[in-house]
Chains A and B, each alone.
Chain A
Amino acid sequence: MQNYDVIIIGAGPAGLAAAIYTSRAVLSTLVIDESSAGGQVKTTHQVANYPGFVEPIAGHELAGNMRKQAEKYGTKLKLAVDITALHLSDRKKWVELDDQDRYATEFVVIATGSSPRPLNIPGEQEYKGSGVSYCATCDAEFYKDKDIVLIGGGNSAMEESLLLLQFVKSITIIHQFDTLQAEKITADKVTNNPKVNILWSHEPRAFYKKENNMVVEAENLKTKKRIRLGRDGIFIFVGLVPNSAFLKTTPVQLTRHGYVITNPQMETNIRGVYAAGDIRDKSHRQITIAVGDGTIAALEVIHKV
Chain B
Amino acid sequence: MLQSNLEHIESEEQLKGLIENNEKVAVCCGRMGPMCIPVYDIFEIFQEKYPDIQFRDMDFDIPAAATIKGLPECRKFWGLPYTVYYRNGKVVKATSSIQSAKEVKSIINDVFA
Q: Which residues of B contact A130 (CB under 8 A)?
A: 76-79, 96
Q: Which residue of B lies closest to A34 (CB)?
A: B101
Q: Which residues of B contact A42 (CB under 8 A)?
A: 34, 37-38, 41
**Does B34 contact A43, Cβ atoms closer than 8 Å?**
yes
**Does B78 contact A138, Cβ atoms closer than 8 Å?**
no
**Does B45 contact A129, Cβ atoms closer than 8 Å?**
no
Interface string of A109-145 (1 = CB under 8 A from B): 0000000000000000000111111110111001100
The A32-77 residues at the B interface (CB cut-off 8 A) are 34-38, 42-45, 58-60
**Does A45 contact B34, Cβ atoms closer than 8 Å?**
yes
Is A300 on the interface with B (CB-CB < 8 A)? no
Select which of B36, B101, B105 is within 8 A of A138 by beta carbon. B36
Rounded to whole Å, the gap between the CB of B57 and the closest CB of chain A is 13
Rounded to whole Å, the gap between the CB of A125 and the closest CB of chain B is 10
A44 to B76, CA, bound (A): 26
Contacts A129-B96, A134-B98 hold; do A36 and B44 have CB atoms under 8 A apart?
Answer: yes
Is A233 on the interface with B (CB-CB < 8 A)? yes
Is B42 on the interface with A (CB-CB < 8 A)? yes
**Does B97 contact A45, Cβ atoms closer than 8 Å?**
no
The size of the chain A interface, using a CB distance under 8 A, is: 29
**Does A80 contact B79, Cβ atoms closer than 8 Å?**
no
A45 to B37, CA, bound (A): 10
Rounded to whole Å, the gap between the CB of B61 and the closest CB of chain A is 11
Interface string of A207-220 (1 = CB under 8 A from B): 00000000000000
Q: Which residues of B contact A135 (CB under 8 A)?
A: 33-35, 79-80, 97-98
**Does B80 contact A139, Cβ atoms closer than 8 Å?**
yes
Rounded to whole Å, the gap between the CB of B25 and the closest CB of chain A is 19
**Does B41 contact A128, Cβ atoms closer than 8 Å?**
no
Contacts A34-B102, A36-B45 hold; do A131 and B38 have CB atoms under 8 A apart?
Answer: no
A256 to B101, CA, bound (A): 28
**Does B33 contact A129, Cβ atoms closer than 8 Å?**
no
**Does A35 contact B79, Cβ atoms closer than 8 Å?**
no
Is B18 on the interface with A (CB-CB < 8 A)? no
Is B46 on the interface with A (CB-CB < 8 A)? yes
**Does A143 contact B78, Cβ atoms closer than 8 Å?**
yes
**Does A45 contact B33, Cβ atoms closer than 8 Å?**
yes
A173 to B111, CA, bound (A): 39
**Does A60 contact B35, Cβ atoms closer than 8 Å?**
no
Q: Please give the residue numbers on chain B whose beta carbons come within 8 Å of chain A beta carbons, in ascending order.
A: 3, 30-38, 41-42, 44-46, 49, 76-80, 95-98, 100-102, 105
Query: Can you name 18 A-B residue pairings with CB atoms under 8 Å?
Result: A34-B101, A35-B38, A43-B34, A60-B32, A80-B49, A80-B101, A128-B96, A130-B79, A130-B96, A131-B78, A134-B35, A135-B33, A135-B34, A135-B35, A137-B34, A138-B33, A138-B79, A138-B80
Pairs of residues from A and B, 10 with the lowest C-beta to C-beta distance, nearest first? A129-B96, A129-B97, A36-B41, A129-B79, A43-B34, A80-B101, A142-B78, A138-B33, A138-B35, A80-B45
